[in-house]
Amino acid sequence: MRILWQITGLAIGMGLSIATADEIWVSNEKDDTISVIDIDTLEVTRTIDVGERPRGIAFAIDHSVLYLCASDSDTVQVIDPKTGKILHELPSGEDPEQFVLHPDGKHLYIANEDDAITTVVDTDTRKVIAQIDVGIEPEGMAVSPDGDIAITTSETTNMAHWIDTGTQELFANTIVDQRPRHAEFTHDGSELWVSSEIGGTITVFNRENQQEKAKIEFEIQGIHPDRVQPVGFEMTRDGQHVFVALGPANHIAVVDPETYEVTDYILVGRRVWHMAFNGDESLLFTTNGVSGDVTVIDVKNLEPIKSIKVGRFPWGAAYRPTN
């Protein structure tokens, strides 16, 4: 409660002097909109109409544009974050669900959920430069910090597919537990983490040899293991925590990336899906699909401090600095 006061106080104190506070952008899958949350006031300040069934959401490296998967419009929309206007669309292949931007800032790797394909698009020329056959229902996308490896996970094939970004070809396929949903490399690039929704686990791979290094399981008292379903997760840059959304278990797990132990569970809204940090990683914003809100977590104290009503079925979130 005190934290909330502090934040509110801060917001009031800074209120008029800063016209543009940093923002969190949330894609609302069942509203065809984006909700823009002002990080200072923790309120929705703008609602932007976008294409059909918006899901994957990410800013360009310089934050000059927003990329958004409009899944049912079969396109990736490029949006001006200042005006909220759709600038143009990128060819994305059918039913784009998630994507990841290569560190070169140029290539988008897009999972085409209905087509078992990963599409690589050049954001400058707006052309498809490669399509890679992967498993059924590709979803999770990741790229290594050095840009050498891109990952697609496929939900029904239950694999992580390792793509050599030099040749745009697969060089390894590793099995994970049922329904992999999300993948991330650690910030030092040495490990790949993959969450499995129905398997209820996160598999940690050694990047060097693509071998499984650890498996993380979750257990919340009073919730049947079947309903503990890890989906999105994010790692702090300081290597202290990994936050894991547990879907219908309505909790965020906090994992120690050194020991792979779960150190805490934080109660959030219903069917928590993905998340984004603010700039200094003091706050974490989680999208709660069924309750239609975003939970704000104080990262230092590992406590939820506010929930913010957004559109229907919030899916993904992305941070936008404005200063």
Partner 1 sequence: MFVRVIANYLVILWICCGAAYADMAVTIGYLEQVEPQPPVLSNLDPVPENEGLAGAEVGLKDNATTGRFLKQTYALETRIVAEGGDIESAARELLAVTPFLIVKAPKNQLLRVADLPEAAGAILFNTSAGDTDLRDASCRVNVLHTLPSRAMLTDALAQFGVRKKWTDWVVVAGPYTADLAFADAIENSARKFGIRIRERRVWDVSADLRRSAFQELPLFTQNFPEHDLLVVADETDDFGRYVPYNSWVPRPVGGTEGIVPVAWDRTVEQWGAAQLQSRFEKTAGRSMRPVDYAAWAAMRAIGEAVTRTSQADAGAVRDYLLSGKFELAGFKGRPLTFRTWNGQLRQPIPLVNPRALVAQAPLEGFLHQRTELDTLGIDEAESACTAFRE
Tokens of 163: 């793509």
Kindly state the number of chain residues that form the binding site for partner 1, as judged by CB under 8 A: 44
Residue 191's Cα: distance from chain center in Å? 18
Q: Select the residue interacting with partner 1 from 41, 186, 210, 236 (CB under 8 A).
A: 210
Q: Which residues contact 2 (CB under 8 A, 6 or more apart)?
A: none
Burial state string for 154-186 with b = 16 or more CB within 10 A and e = fewer than 16: bbebbbbbbbebeebebebebebbebbbbbbbb
Task: Show the tokens assigned to 209.
Answer: 């040899």
Query: Of the ranges 35-43, 81-89, 102-110, 164-172, which one interacts with partner 1 (CB under 8 A)?
Result: 164-172
Closer Cβ to partner 1, 136 or 305, answer by number: 136
Among 168, 178, 190, 236, binds partner 1 (CB under 8 A): 178
In this chain, which of 47, 168, 173, 190 binds partner 1, going by CB under 8 A?
Answer: 173
What is the pattern of x (binds partner 1, CB under 8 A) and - over residues 24-63?
----------------------------------------
State the Cα–Cα distance between residues 67 and 78, nearest whole angstrom: 5
> Nearest Cα to 118, choosing from 79, 168, 185, 158?
168
Which of 15-23, 24-32, 118-126, 157-165 is the region at the interface with partner 1 (rule: CB under 8 A)?
A: 157-165
Interacting residue with partner 1 among 136, 223, 302, 305 (CB under 8 A): 136
By C-alpha distance, which of 146, 143, 216 is closest to 184? Answer: 143
- What is the closest distance, in whole angstroms, from the C-beta atom of residue 158 to partner 1 in the complex? 7
Q: Which stretch binds partner 1 (CB under 8 A): 32-40, 84-92, 153-161, 274-282?
A: 153-161
Q: Which of residues 225-264 bind partner 1 (CB under 8 A)?
A: 226-227, 248, 259-263
Q: Which long-range contacts (CB under 8 A, 24 or more apart) does 223-228 make?
A: 223/249, 223/251, 225/200, 226/200, 228/200
Amino acid at position 160, single letter: A
**What tokens were used for 22?**
């940093």
Smallest separation (angstroms) from partner 1 to the CB of 239: 17
**Which secondary structure element, helix H or strand E, spans residue 126, and what is its range?**
none
Q: Can you tell me which of 28, 112, 158, 250 binds partner 1, judged by CB under 8 A? A: 158
Binding test (CB under 8 A) with partner 1, winner from 60, 128, 214, 305: 214
Rounded CA-CA distance 82/214 in Å is 43
Contact criterion met (CB below 8 Å) for 141 and 111: yes
Cβ closest to partner 1, residue 38 vs residue 97: 97
Beta carbon nearer to partner 1, 40 or 137: 137
Residue numbers of the site for partner 1 (CB under 8 A)? Answer: 113-114, 116, 133, 135-137, 155-159, 161, 170-175, 178-179, 197-200, 209-217, 219, 224, 226-227, 248, 259-263
